């Protein structure tokens, strides 16, 4: 375990920090999915691939 891992684990014991961490992680994950979707649209990838990305984003949003 790295120093960062230990530090993060210690900080995750704070409920406010843990909540904020997870909210920001969720935003970053969503931004990544949207950017991937955007690139697929710009590259004219098959509709099936684009729909798969959209479904992944929708499933991710429903978790929250």
CA distance 18 to 21: 5
pLDDT given at position 47 = 94
Q: Where are the domains of the chain?
A: 3-63
pLDDT given at position 23 = 93
Q: Under a CB-based contact definition with an 8 Å cutoff, are residues 57 and 35 in contact?
A: no
pTM tops 0.85, yes or no: no
- Closest by alpha carbon to 50, among 36, 29, 30? 36
Whether the pLDDT of residue 64 is over 90: the answer is no
Q: CA distances (Å), 54 to each of 20, 36, 46, 49, 57, in order?
A: 26, 10, 13, 9, 5
Q: Per residue in 28-56, pLDDT tens?
A: 999 999 999 999 999 999 999 999 989 98
Mean pLDDT to the nearest integer, 11-16: 96
Q: Is 2 left (phi over 0), alpha (psi -120 to 50) or beta?
A: beta
């Amino acid at each position: 375990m790295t120093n960062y891992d230990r530090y993060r684990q210690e900080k995750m014991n704070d409920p406010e920090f843990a909540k904020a961490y997870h909210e920001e992680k969720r935003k970053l994950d969503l931004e990544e999915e949207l950017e991937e979707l955007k690139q697929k649209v710009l590259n004219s990838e098959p509709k099936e691939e684009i729909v798969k990305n959209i479904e992944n984003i929708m499933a991710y949003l429903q978790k929250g």
